[in-house]
Amino acid sequence: MYSVPNAESVINATDAQMLELRKQIDAAADQPTEDDILFDKLSRLDISLD
């Protein structure tokens, strides 16, 4: 098995970055997507052409 200098600090830094990305993803999950916004706008334009 190979020995990597400062392996523990590299792993800790990577874990911290991944946690930050996860927080950003979770925060963005509550926001509407571009498709949601477009569909909402299009549904407001839905009028009867009779």
Could you list the beta-strand ranges (E) of the chain. Answer: none
pTM of the model: 0.53
Tokens 């392996």, residue? Answer: 7
For position 22, what pLDDT does the model report?
95
For position 37, what pLDDT does the model report?
93
For position 17, what pLDDT does the model report?
97
Q: Are 24 and 18 in contact (CB under 8 A)?
A: no
Q: What is the residue-level pLDDT of the chain in tens, covering all 50 positions?
A: 678 789 899 999 999 999 999 999 998 888 888 999 999 888 888 666 65
For position 50, what pLDDT does the model report?
59
